[in-house]
Amino acid sequence: MEPVTLRTERLLLRPLEPRDTDAVLAACQDPDIARWTPVPTPYHLEHAEEFVLRTSPAGWRDDTMYNFGVFTREGVLAGSMGLVRIGLLRSAERQAELGYWTAPDQRRRGYTAEAGRAVADWAFTALGVERLEWCAEVGNEGSRAVARRIGFVLEGVQRSKITHRGTRRDAWAAALLPSDLGRSTVTPYLPAPEHRTP
Protein backbone atom coordinates (compact mmCIF):
# COMPACT_ATOMS: atom_id res chain seq x y z
CA MET A 1 0.00 0.00 0.00
CA GLU A 2 1.30 3.42 -0.91
CA PRO A 3 1.10 5.62 2.20
CA VAL A 4 -1.76 8.11 2.16
CA THR A 5 -2.51 11.41 3.88
CA LEU A 6 -5.91 12.29 5.33
CA ARG A 7 -7.24 15.69 6.36
CA THR A 8 -10.02 16.70 8.70
CA GLU A 9 -11.28 20.09 9.79
CA ARG A 10 -8.53 20.43 12.41
CA LEU A 11 -6.04 17.65 11.71
CA LEU A 12 -3.53 16.23 9.27
CA LEU A 13 -3.02 12.46 9.35
CA ARG A 14 0.15 11.40 7.59
CA PRO A 15 2.81 8.71 7.80
CA LEU A 16 5.42 9.44 10.44
CA GLU A 17 8.68 10.98 9.25
CA PRO A 18 12.16 11.15 10.80
CA ARG A 19 11.48 14.69 12.05
CA ASP A 20 8.68 13.26 14.25
CA THR A 21 10.97 11.03 16.32
CA ASP A 22 11.47 13.46 19.20
CA ALA A 23 7.75 14.16 19.49
CA VAL A 24 6.96 10.42 19.59
CA LEU A 25 9.68 9.94 22.20
CA ALA A 26 8.23 12.74 24.36
CA ALA A 27 4.64 11.48 24.07
CA CYS A 28 5.57 7.91 24.98
CA GLN A 29 7.04 9.03 28.31
CA ASP A 30 3.43 9.32 29.47
CA PRO A 31 2.55 6.71 32.10
CA ASP A 32 -0.95 6.22 30.65
CA ILE A 33 0.42 5.28 27.23
CA ALA A 34 2.78 2.81 28.90
CA ARG A 35 -0.05 1.48 31.09
CA TRP A 36 -2.54 0.76 28.31
CA THR A 37 -0.50 0.15 25.14
CA PRO A 38 2.31 -2.27 24.29
CA VAL A 39 5.04 0.37 23.96
CA PRO A 40 8.36 -0.52 25.58
CA THR A 41 8.88 0.81 29.09
CA PRO A 42 10.99 2.69 29.83
CA TYR A 43 10.70 4.25 26.40
CA HIS A 44 14.03 5.40 24.93
CA LEU A 45 15.15 7.19 21.77
CA GLU A 46 15.94 3.89 20.05
CA HIS A 47 12.31 2.79 20.57
CA ALA A 48 10.99 5.96 18.94
CA GLU A 49 13.46 5.56 16.08
CA GLU A 50 12.40 1.94 15.56
CA PHE A 51 8.71 2.90 15.45
CA VAL A 52 9.11 5.98 13.24
CA LEU A 53 11.92 4.89 10.91
CA ARG A 54 11.30 1.15 10.54
CA THR A 55 8.06 -0.28 11.98
CA SER A 56 5.63 2.29 10.57
CA PRO A 57 7.11 2.44 7.05
CA ALA A 58 7.36 -1.37 6.94
CA GLY A 59 3.68 -1.61 7.87
CA TRP A 60 2.67 0.37 4.79
CA ARG A 61 5.16 -1.40 2.54
CA ASP A 62 4.32 -4.94 3.71
CA ASP A 63 0.56 -4.40 4.26
CA THR A 64 0.78 -5.32 7.94
CA MET A 65 -0.21 -1.98 9.54
CA TYR A 66 -1.33 1.37 8.14
CA ASN A 67 -0.18 3.88 10.75
CA PHE A 68 -0.70 7.64 10.78
CA GLY A 69 0.81 10.37 12.87
CA VAL A 70 -2.05 12.63 13.91
CA PHE A 71 -1.05 16.30 13.77
CA THR A 72 -2.80 19.56 14.46
CA ARG A 73 -2.86 22.07 11.61
CA GLU A 74 0.00 23.82 13.47
CA GLY A 75 2.11 20.64 13.12
CA VAL A 76 1.92 19.46 16.76
CA LEU A 77 1.81 15.69 17.26
CA ALA A 78 -1.59 14.85 18.76
CA GLY A 79 -1.16 11.08 18.63
CA SER A 80 -0.73 7.95 16.59
CA MET A 81 -3.52 6.00 14.92
CA GLY A 82 -3.63 3.11 12.56
CA LEU A 83 -5.28 0.07 11.16
CA VAL A 84 -3.70 -3.00 12.71
CA ARG A 85 -4.41 -6.75 12.54
CA ILE A 86 -5.19 -6.34 8.86
CA GLY A 87 -4.58 -9.98 7.96
CA LEU A 88 -8.30 -10.40 7.24
CA LEU A 89 -8.54 -7.22 5.18
CA ARG A 90 -8.13 -9.01 1.86
CA SER A 91 -10.16 -12.08 2.80
CA ALA A 92 -13.91 -12.61 2.71
CA GLU A 93 -14.08 -11.22 6.26
CA ARG A 94 -12.79 -7.75 5.14
CA GLN A 95 -11.86 -6.81 8.72
CA ALA A 96 -9.32 -4.56 10.39
CA GLU A 97 -8.77 -3.16 13.88
CA LEU A 98 -8.34 0.49 14.84
CA GLY A 99 -5.62 1.29 17.37
CA TYR A 100 -4.50 4.64 18.77
CA TRP A 101 -2.81 6.62 21.49
CA THR A 102 -3.05 10.33 22.24
CA ALA A 103 -0.23 12.62 23.37
CA PRO A 104 -0.96 13.69 26.96
CA ASP A 105 -1.00 17.45 26.27
CA GLN A 106 -3.48 16.98 23.37
CA ARG A 107 -6.18 15.04 25.24
CA ARG A 108 -9.77 16.17 25.83
CA ARG A 109 -9.90 18.19 22.61
CA GLY A 110 -11.72 15.63 20.48
CA TYR A 111 -8.72 15.11 18.20
CA THR A 112 -8.54 11.32 18.49
CA ALA A 113 -12.25 10.81 17.76
CA GLU A 114 -12.01 13.22 14.81
CA ALA A 115 -9.02 11.30 13.45
CA GLY A 116 -10.73 7.98 14.09
CA ARG A 117 -13.78 8.97 12.07
CA ALA A 118 -11.50 9.96 9.17
CA VAL A 119 -9.58 6.66 9.28
CA ALA A 120 -12.83 4.67 9.52
CA ASP A 121 -14.28 6.51 6.54
CA TRP A 122 -11.09 5.85 4.56
CA ALA A 123 -11.14 2.18 5.58
CA PHE A 124 -14.75 1.75 4.50
CA THR A 125 -14.49 3.64 1.21
CA ALA A 126 -10.94 3.12 -0.06
CA LEU A 127 -10.12 -0.29 1.43
CA GLY A 128 -13.54 -1.96 1.42
CA VAL A 129 -13.44 -2.79 5.14
CA GLU A 130 -16.77 -4.31 6.20
CA ARG A 131 -16.09 -4.62 9.93
CA LEU A 132 -13.76 -2.35 11.90
CA GLU A 133 -12.92 -3.62 15.35
CA TRP A 134 -11.59 -1.94 18.48
CA CYS A 135 -10.42 -3.54 21.70
CA ALA A 136 -8.77 -2.26 24.84
CA GLU A 137 -8.02 -3.65 28.25
CA VAL A 138 -11.00 -3.45 30.59
CA GLY A 139 -10.55 -0.26 32.59
CA ASN A 140 -9.14 1.86 29.78
CA GLU A 141 -11.95 4.40 30.07
CA GLY A 142 -10.24 7.02 27.88
CA SER A 143 -9.90 4.69 24.91
CA ARG A 144 -13.44 3.42 25.35
CA ALA A 145 -14.82 6.97 25.44
CA VAL A 146 -13.03 7.78 22.18
CA ALA A 147 -14.30 4.58 20.53
CA ARG A 148 -17.86 5.48 21.48
CA ARG A 149 -17.47 9.01 20.10
CA ILE A 150 -16.23 7.53 16.82
CA GLY A 151 -19.38 5.39 16.70
CA PHE A 152 -18.16 1.96 17.80
CA VAL A 153 -20.81 -0.29 19.35
CA LEU A 154 -19.64 -2.19 22.41
CA GLU A 155 -20.11 -5.93 22.04
CA GLY A 156 -18.87 -7.24 25.36
CA VAL A 157 -15.82 -8.45 27.27
CA GLN A 158 -13.36 -10.93 25.79
CA ARG A 159 -11.70 -12.93 28.55
CA SER A 160 -7.91 -13.20 28.57
CA LYS A 161 -7.72 -11.41 25.17
CA ILE A 162 -4.69 -9.17 25.75
CA THR A 163 -1.24 -10.09 27.01
CA HIS A 164 0.27 -6.98 28.60
CA ARG A 165 3.55 -6.91 30.52
CA GLY A 166 3.47 -10.68 31.00
CA THR A 167 -0.12 -10.92 32.24
CA ARG A 168 -3.26 -11.95 30.38
CA ARG A 169 -6.01 -9.32 30.66
CA ASP A 170 -9.68 -9.09 29.77
CA ALA A 171 -10.59 -6.70 26.96
CA TRP A 172 -13.58 -4.64 25.95
CA ALA A 173 -14.57 -5.37 22.35
CA ALA A 174 -16.48 -3.13 19.97
CA ALA A 175 -17.13 -2.85 16.25
CA LEU A 176 -18.04 -0.20 13.73
CA LEU A 177 -19.85 -1.31 10.58
CA PRO A 178 -20.31 0.67 7.37
CA SER A 179 -24.06 0.50 8.02
CA ASP A 180 -23.51 2.37 11.31
CA LEU A 181 -22.46 5.31 9.13
CA GLY A 182 -25.17 4.82 6.50
CA ARG A 183 -22.87 3.00 4.07
CA SER A 184 -23.47 -0.26 2.27
CA THR A 185 -21.15 -3.24 1.89
CA VAL A 186 -20.43 -5.63 -0.94
CA THR A 187 -21.24 -8.59 1.30
CA PRO A 188 -24.88 -8.55 2.45
CA TYR A 189 -25.40 -8.33 6.22
CA LEU A 190 -28.09 -10.44 7.89
CA PRO A 191 -28.32 -9.41 11.57
CA ALA A 192 -29.60 -11.97 14.06
CA PRO A 193 -33.22 -11.51 15.05
CA GLU A 194 -33.75 -9.84 18.40
CA HIS A 195 -34.38 -12.32 21.19
CA ARG A 196 -36.76 -11.41 23.93
CA THR A 197 -36.29 -12.85 27.36
CA PRO A 198 -39.45 -14.08 29.01
Q: Parallel, antiparallel, or unpaired: how do β-strands 95-102 and 131-137 relate?
A: parallel
Long-range contacts of 155-162 (CB under 8 A, 24+ apart): 161/135, 162/135, 162/137
* 99 band by pLDDT with thresholds 50, 70 and 90: very high
Question: Could you report the per-residue pLDDT of 40-81, keeping only the tens digit for each?
Answer: 999 999 999 999 999 999 999 999 999 999 999 999 999 999
The model's pTM is 0.94
Question: Could you report the per-residue pLDDT of 146-194, keeping only the tens digit for each?
Answer: 999 999 999 999 999 999 999 999 999 999 999 999 999 999 999 888 8
Distance CA 13, CA 16 (A): 9
Statement: residue 126 has pLDDT above 70? yes
Q: Parallel, antiparallel, or unpaired: how do β-strands 131-137 and 11-14 relate?
A: unpaired
* 196 band by pLDDT with thresholds 50, 70 and 90: low
Amino acid at 17: E
Distance CA 22, CA 76 (A): 12
**Confidence at residue 50, expressed as pLDDT on a 0 to 100 scale:** 98
